[in-house]
């Protein structure tokens, strides 16, 4: 193999990974940009705008703000004056009214959610059909058909969980391990309850999973349907993220089922490579939308160090009509950050082991 062929082979392996890292960089930049722009809007002094964590690779001072690029592409931050301590400096974060601080804190996750929503709309708008939670047809001798499910049924709930989209349907069916479920369906305009609908199951990597024995109805991607389902699908993904994290916290979800930075980059890289070969961008766009929405939804969780945790402190301040000690907030956020880094390290090791298997 000559040098040109070797370079072409290396580039063919490397460019999808670089593209995935670039996408993550853009997600981080837009997230932090949301915080930064709203801080500037409300005249909050920003001491540093950083992309990445760890050692500084590049920095530039402009007015009161230092712009920096750091070595580890796993996050970023906007360091605002008086965010983690009392400050008498003009433009301190803590001197602003709660509603302004809340907007600044929520802006980053909001930008991520809007990014995911836009990508989702593009994906749906360029698809042949948009999936819905309605039964189109059955596959072979479908067990669920024998238990009362019918073609044309629009599934409204699975095991008492409300279903609005195909993602809700897939998620709540996948949570059931024995293949026996209760449905409520809309059949010819009437709600019909179906008890103990049975599906076949199979073992995949030591876990029992449900075998889907029906196809779903697809609708044409007109403007109305694209707007409707891009919003509904995005909200479904947010809900699924929160439910999955709750399941993880309560022991109903395995750590091995999670993907960290390495696993997610690898998934995006593989999908990017497949899309380049096939010319079909739908799956790639879906993966990108899922990641953007996941980042936004995760950051809104009311956990220390996350945007949702900081927002909770602001809410409590508004409820009790007095500020919560900056020292207490800083201590809680430090503990939360340590826990998050610990989780990231564990998941990253899991990702690496999966790649090596």
Q: Nearest CA to 31 among 83, 72, 75, 61?
A: 75
The enclosing H or E element of 20 equals helix 3-41
User: Reduced to 3 states, what is the DSSP secondary structure of residue 43?
Assistant: coil
Query: Which among 208, 211, 199 has a CA at the least distance from the CA of 146?
Result: 199
First to last CA, the chain: 28
- Contact yes or no for 105/296 (Cβ under 8 A): no
Is 32 marked active-site?
yes
- Closest C-alpha to 49, from 81, 91, 2, 10: 81
Residue 269: CB atoms within 10 Å: 20
* CA dist., res. 308 & res. 312, Å (int): 6
Angle, helices 223-249 vs 282-299, to 10°: value is 50
What single-letter DSSP state applies at residue 93? G
Q: How many angstroms separate the CA atoms of 291 and 24, rounded?
A: 9
Helix (H, G, I), strand (E, B) or coil at 160: coil
Please name the residues in contact with 266: beta carbons below 8 A apart, sequence gap of 6 or more: 17, 20, 351, 355
Burial (0-12, 13-18, 19+ Cβ within 10 Å), 138: middle
Q: Looking at the DSSP assignment, which residues form a beta bridge with residue 194? A: 183
DSSP 124: H
Provide φ and ψ at 160, rounded to 5°: 70, 10
Catalytic annotation, residues: 32
């Amino acid at each position: 193999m000559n040098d040109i062929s070797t370079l072409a082979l290396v580039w063919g392996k490397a460019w999808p990974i670089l593209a995935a890292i670039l996408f993550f960089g853009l997600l981080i930049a837009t997230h932090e940009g949301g915080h930064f722009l709203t801080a500037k809007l409300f005249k909050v002094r920003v001491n540093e705008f950083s992309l990445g964590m760890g050692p500084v690779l590049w920095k530039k001072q402009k007015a009161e703000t230092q712009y920096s690029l750091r070595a580890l592409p796993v996050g970023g931050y906007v360091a605002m004056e008086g965010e983690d301590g009392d400050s008498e400096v003009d433009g301190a974060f803590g001197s602003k009214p709660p509603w302004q601080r809340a907007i600044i804190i929520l802006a980053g996750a909001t930008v991520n959610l809007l990014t995911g929503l836009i990508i989702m709309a593009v994906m749906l708008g360029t698809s042949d059909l948009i999936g819905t939670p309605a039964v189109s047809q059955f596959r072979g001798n479908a067990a669920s058909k024998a238990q009362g499910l019918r073609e044309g049924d629009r599934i409204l709930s699975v095991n008492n969980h409300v279903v609005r989209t195909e993602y809700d349907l897939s998620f709540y069916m996948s949570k059931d391990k024995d293949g026996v479920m209760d449905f409520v369906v809309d059949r010819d305009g009437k709600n019909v309850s179906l008890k103990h609908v049975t599906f076949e199951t199979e073992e995949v990597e030591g876990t029992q999973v449900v075998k889907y024995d029906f196809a779903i109805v697809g609708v044409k991607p007109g403007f109305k349907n694209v707007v409707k389902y891009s919003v509904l699908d995005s909200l479904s993904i947010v809900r699924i993220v929160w439910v999955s994290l709750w399941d993880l916290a309560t022991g109903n979800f395995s750590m091995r089922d999670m993907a960290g930075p390495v696993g997610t980059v690898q998934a995006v890289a593989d999908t990017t490579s497949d899309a380049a070969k096939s010319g079909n961008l739908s799956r790639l766009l879906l993966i990108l939308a899922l990641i953007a929405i996941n980042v936004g939804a995760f950051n809104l969780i009311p956990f220390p160090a996350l945007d949702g945790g900081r927002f909770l402190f602001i809410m409590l301040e508004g409820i009790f009509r007095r500020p919560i000690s900056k020292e207490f907030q800083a201590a809680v956020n430090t503990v939360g950050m340590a826990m998050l880094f610990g989780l990231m390290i564990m998941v990253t090791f899991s990702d690496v082991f999966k790649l090596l298997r």
